[in-house]
Amino acid sequence: MQNSRRAARQSPAAGKGAFVWRLVTALSVGVFLFGTLFLGYLLYGAARTLAASIPVQSGAPLPAIIASRQPGAGDSAPASANEPLPQVQYQQQERINFLLMGIDLRPGEYGPARTDTLIVVTLDPVGKNVGMLSLPRDLWVTIPGFGENRINTAYFSGEASKYPGGGAALAEKTIQYNFGIPINYYIVINFVGFRKMVDALGGISIDVPREIYDPSFPDDTYGYRPLYIKAGVQRMDGDMALAYARTRHEDNDFGRMKRQQQVLMAIKQQALTPSVLTKLPALWAARENMLLTDLTLDKIVQFAQIARDIKSDNITSRVIDENLAPSITTPSGAMVLWPDRDKIRALIEEIFKQPEAVPVEVKPQQPSEQIQKLASEGARIQISNGTATKALAERVSDWLKSQGFNVVLVDNADRKDYANTVVVESNVKTYTRERLLNIFHVAADKVRKSPNAKSDVDLRIIIGKDFDEKEIPDSR
């Protein structure tokens, strides 16, 4: 079955020759930003950290993975080997919309494939915010020129019919026709690329809410391989992360989309760690033949420059779930999801609005003796927002820093519904741990041990709904 597909459109191998390390770094940031791991914006935070410190220099020609859909019709042409990387800042003020597609194309398969994942990402270069909307595969829509069908068939139909611009162009047109969202750029990635990139990052940590057992999880040859994942914090390689993002046995497609967003946050968290710099050669090698995009090199660099200023709490992610698209049966007997267009329109307006700025309150410093104890222990702390409260992690981080704590990383957790605050310990830092347990009212026997022995942080705090900012004391 899989061998009957015609050759998939993939980018050719990159040109031979040496390239400058900083060029690799800059391009890797860009590739991650708008293509890696089919889950979308996963590395906006990493680009914010890396792009701020990496001067772009002369180097190699444009990598083969970057293909312009309309050369010379707006975006800059690919850079030559003797030209420096473009450093022109993005001048436009309107939003930029990306369509991210993960295709169900497995090892050894060829030809057109359906999209297993569809995500619209919108970037506001002025308000410095990002929105993400996940679309279910079975959403029943009009595919222009092809009638009504599931939305995941748009890419397949465009590829199979040799539609002008291919499957990506038809998928873009389908999104705009049904939801009024114009798409500026597309990125397509396959299962193999997803696995490679997670492995190149060294794996990711996922807090699995409940045990998963899927006895009929599909393997790469359309057979079955039982899938079992324990509840709790799990360290996942590329294969396990893909399985976690794809399984639907325990819930449905809506739960699956939420897990995909959980995975992307975990990848973003891993990509933010300082050790990602040492993994760049493997990441660079893994990108070959894994994605297709119409982003040009200069646009990647410009968008990376914008992304470095985006805070985690200015990233909004939403899913079109059963409340917005109830299940129906078509006259032909197909089970599909019928979009409630009024509700979906309201959701899109919510995603596209600019978030309100939240003032940060900085509280007094700790007594010098306690600050010295914290400094001597040198514990590296990560603060993650596990709630829907905007900018909570940033405010807590600012206060902790004022008290002498060494907060090295601030981000959003993999989900926003943590009922209780969680403390994850990678390395023993007794004094700092006890102080944090006291501040966040977490019992010592509730501390979780991190499965990642090489973590770049010693202690991670995932703020839950039980945390009340008003309880933070002025001093202890």
- Per-residue DSSP letters for 427-469? S--HHHHHHHHHHHT--GGGPEEPS-TT-S-SEEEEE-TT--G
Retrieve residue 90's tokens: 């993005």
Mean pLDDT within 179-193: 85
Retrieve residue 287's tokens: 């990108």
- pLDDT exceeds 80 at position 380: yes
214 and 179 Cβ atoms separated by less than 8 Å? no
Angle (nearest 5°) at CA 413 between 407 and 418: 115
pLDDT for 281: 63
pLDDT for 107: 60
How do residues 47-98 score in pLDDT, each as one tens digit? 333 333 333 333 332 232 223 333 233 333 333 333 333 344 555 668 889 9
Residue 414 Ramachandran class (φ > 0 left, ψ -120 to 50 alpha, else beta) = alpha
pLDDT for 38: 31
pLDDT for 76: 34
pLDDT for 469: 81
pLDDT for 35: 36
Mean pLDDT within 297-318: 74
Q: Which is more confidently placed, 323 or 196?
A: 323
How do residues 33-48 score in pLDDT, each as one tens digit? 433 333 333 333 333 3
Mean pLDDT within 124-144: 89
pLDDT for 310: 73
Three-state secondary structure of 99-121: EEEEECCCCCCCCCCCEEEEEEE
Phi, psi of 96 (to 5 degrees): -115, 125
pLDDT for 123: 87
d(CA 27, CA 65): 11
d(CA 284, CA 113): 25
H helices, E strands: number in the chain: 13, 19
183 and 172 Cβ atoms separated by less than 8 Å? yes
182 and 192 Cβ atoms separated by less than 8 Å? no
Q: Which is more confidently placed, 421 or 57?
A: 421
Q: What is the DSSP letter of 266?
A: H
Phi, psi of 240 (to 5 degrees): -70, -40
Which segment, 2-16, 193-207, 407-421, is predicted with the most confidence on average?
407-421
d(CA 123, CA 185): 11
Burial class (CB in 10 A: 0-12, 13-18, 19+), 3: exposed
pLDDT band for 110, please (50, 70, 90 cuts): low
Burial class (CB in 10 A: 0-12, 13-18, 19+), 373: middle
Please count the CA atoms within 13 angstroms of the CA of 241 that sit on its side-chain side: 32
Which stretch of 130-134, 152-156, 428-432 has the lowest confidence by average pLDDT? 130-134
* Average of per-residue pLDDT values in the chain: 73
d(CA 85, CA 82): 10
395 and 360 Cβ atoms separated by less than 8 Å? yes
pLDDT for 352: 77
Give me the percent of the chain exceeding a pLDDT of 90.
26
Q: Which is more confidently placed, 468 or 110?
A: 468
Retrieve residue 206's tokens: 């996922």
Q: Which is more confidently placed, 366 or 370?
A: 370
In order, the DSSP letters of 338-385 are ---HHHHHHHHHHHHSPPPP-PPP-PPPPPHHHHHHHHHHT--EEEEE
pLDDT band for 139, please (50, 70, 90 cuts): very high
Q: What is the pTM of this model?
A: 0.53
d(CA 8, CA 110): 5
Which segment, 40-49, 145-154, 274-283, is predicted with the most confidence on average?
145-154
- pLDDT exceeds 90 at position 153: yes
pLDDT for 369: 75
pLDDT for 26: 34
CA 282 to chain centre: 19
Give me the percent of the chain exceeding a pLDDT of 70.
66
pLDDT for 473: 56
d(CA 400, CA 414): 22
CA 268 to chain centre: 6
Domains in the chain and their CATH numbers?
A: 2-352 (3.40.630.190), 368-471 (3.30.70)
Mean pLDDT within 410-415: 90
Mean pLDDT within 369-396: 89
